[in-house]
Amino acid sequence: MSERVAIRVRGLKTAYGSHVVHENLDLDVCEGEIMGIIGPSGCGKSVLLRAIVGLKTPAAGEVEVFGEDVTGVEGDELSRVQQFWGIMFQDGALFSNLTVRENVIAPLKEHANLSRPFMRQLADMKIRMSGLETSAGDKYPSDLSGGMRKRAALARAMALDPPILFLDEPTAGLDPITAAGFDKLVRDLQRSLHLTVFLVTHDVDTLAATCDRIAVLGDRKVLAVGTMDELRKEEHPWIRDYFGGPRGRAAAAGVE
C-alpha cells in the first residue's frame, strides 16, 4: 500500500428527497490497499459506492480519484473516468441474454476500439484470471453456480484493466468455502496487479482474509477507519458488538 490517495471523498452529502444518507463524510482510500466498508444495514455503504462512481449525484462535497475531481461528471467525461474502475455489483448484474464472454466483452466494446478477435482473447484471459475455465465463456449466467457468476462478474469488472475495483458484497450468498475461495482470488489479484479495492461487505471473514484497512459507516459518516486490530479497540457500541461478537472473535482467531 502506498501513501498516494487513490480515492478521496470530502464533505460528501447524499440524499433521497428529505432522507439524508451521508452528511459531511470524509474518506481516503490509499493506492494499492483493500479498504473494507462495513456498517449496519441501510447505513449507506452501497450509496457511497454509487456516489464515488458517479451513479448517484452528491448533494454536496467532492470525490477525487487519483487527484482528479470526478464529482458529478457526465457524458464523455464520465465515460473517460469510468476507465479508472471496474465495478462488481451485489447481484453480479450480468446481462442474462449474453454469454459470459460477451458480458466481459461488453465494456471493451463500449470503451475500447479493438478488433473482435482481440476482444475475444482479452475476455478469455480475464475469464481465466477469475478462476473460470475458458469454456465458461460460452455459458449463459443462468447456467452457472452462484460462485461462478461472481467470478464472471469479476472478470467483467476487470475487462479494461482498471486500477481500482469496487466490489459490493462479493461473497453474499456464497457458502463459506466458496466465499473463502473468492476472498483469496481478490487478495491474489490485488497483490499481483497492485489494485486498489473498495470492498463493501457484511462478512467478517472476508474482512479478516482480505482487507488492509476497514472503514465503519454509521450516523451518516465514517465512524472509524483502521486495521481490524485497531477497530477492535474502538468504544463505539456497534463496532464493539461487530468485532466482539462470536463471528468477529472467530474471524480474529482464524487470522492469529
Residue 155 interacting with ligand ATP (CB under 6 A): no
Q: Which residues contact 117 (CB under 8 A, 6 or more apart)?
A: none
CA 217-174-193 angle, to 5 degrees, is 70
How far apart CA 201 and CA 178 sit, in angstroms, is 15
Residue from the set 18, 42, 235, 256 that interacts with ligand ATP by CB under 6 A: 42
CB of 149 to ligand ATP, least distance (A): 18
Residue 168 CB neighbour total at 10 angstroms = 21
Nearer to ligand ATP, 99 or 238 (CB): 238
112 CB-side CA count, 13 A: 18
The answer to the question of residue 46 lying near ligand ATP (CB under 6 A) is yes
Among 32, 36, 44, 248, binds ligand ATP (CB under 6 A): 44
Q: In what order do the strands lie in the sheet with 213-218?
A: 85-88, 164-168, 196-200, 34-38, 213-218, 221-226
Beta bridge partners of 41: none
What's the closest the beta carbon of residue 21 comes to ligand ATP, in angstroms?
A: 5
Of residues 108 and 167, the one with the C-beta less far from ligand ATP: 167
Number of Cβ within 10 Å of residue 177's Cβ equals: 9
Of residues 7, 25, 47, 63, which one binds ligand ATP by CB under 6 A? Answer: 47
Q: Which of residues 3-32 bind ligand ATP (CB under 6 A)?
A: 16, 21
Q: How many residues bind ligand ATP (CB under 6 A)?
A: 10
Q: Candidates 6, 29, 45, 65: give the one binding ligand ATP (CB under 6 A).
A: 45
Interaction site with ligand ATP (CB under 6 A): 16, 21, 39, 41-47
